[in-house]
Amino acid sequence: MFLSKQKNKENLATYKSGFTLIELLVSVFIIGVIASVTVYNHKEFTDSLEITNLAYAVALSIREAQISGTAVKGISGNFEKAYGIHFNINPETDANFPGNNKAYLLFVDDENDQYIYGNLPPNYLGFNNNCGDPSINLECIQQIDIGRGNFISKICVNDGSGDLSCSDDSNLAGVDLTFLRPKLDTNIRFRRQNGTVLTPPNQYNDKEAIICLKSPSGRTKSINVLHSGQIYVGKDTICEDISDES
């Protein structure tokens, strides 16, 4: 009887002691730290996954244009039209060559005008809601929008000798990548900020076009397009800003 009462008193004392305020605060703090790290790592992983998926989606769009232009797709029974992708990162407010760094265009070179989208400024067709309406815009097939805060940060040219030129250190603002049967080669036409084509156009026949993508957190991916028709996704260092590298 005596031992039973003693044990009950010990259990009661343990029950009454419970957690102290300090122990409770420490536990809450530890849980908060673990939750913060988990949320941060999840955000980083999601951001990395999204920019990678976007890069592959853009590369797939370029491949779609390549297949349409070189293999199976004709327009109005004519299989001698080039299909391509148009990038223009000029400000939307530009008077002659308004761009959009959060979208790009799939188009057909209906007028066969030097493998570019639309006419030269001031008759540039631009990005608008008339894409896909042949009564207004004969060349634009589809406008593909880029979401979740990602955007096209740079358009670059690599001449193969290490001499790189990008839209942030030159007057480059865009590029047209077109394909015409029977060759799989890419016709690369770089555009100045005023919309004109860098001339002579064939000086870029053996060059590489680099489209740089950037996420809201600063992660980058590149879509590299060779004149040979090769398209690949990578992480080209030219897409990194100096501020990102420091």
Q: Give pLDDT tens digits for 185-208.
A: 999 999 999 999 987 766 766 789
pLDDT greater than 90 at residue 45: no
Residue 54 phi, psi (nearest 5): -65, -45
**Band (63; pLDDT cuts 50, 70, 90):** very high
**The pLDDT of residue 161:** 62
How far is the C-alpha of 113 from the C-alpha of 149, rounded, in Å? 34
**The pLDDT of residue 246:** 33
| Mean pLDDT of the region 236-246 | 65
**Would you list the domain boundaries of the chain?**
37-245
Report the percent of the chain where pLDDT is more than 70: 76
DSSP-derived secondary structure letter, 145 = E
Please give the model's pTM, rounded to 2 decimal places: 0.78
59 close to 223: Cβ distance less than 8 angstroms: yes
- The highest-confidence range among 31-45, 95-109, 228-242, by mean pLDDT, is 95-109
88-114 pLDDT, tens digit per residue, is 999 999 988 999 999 999 999 876 667
**The pLDDT of residue 103:** 97
Share the mean pLDDT of the chain: 81
How far is the C-alpha of 208 from the C-alpha of 192, rounded, in Å? 17
Structure tokens belonging to residue 27: 């536990």
DSSP secondary structure letters along 33-89: HHHHHHHHHHHHHHHHHHHHHHHHHHHHHHHHHHHIIIII--BTTB----EEEEEE-
| Mean pLDDT of the region 127-151 | 86
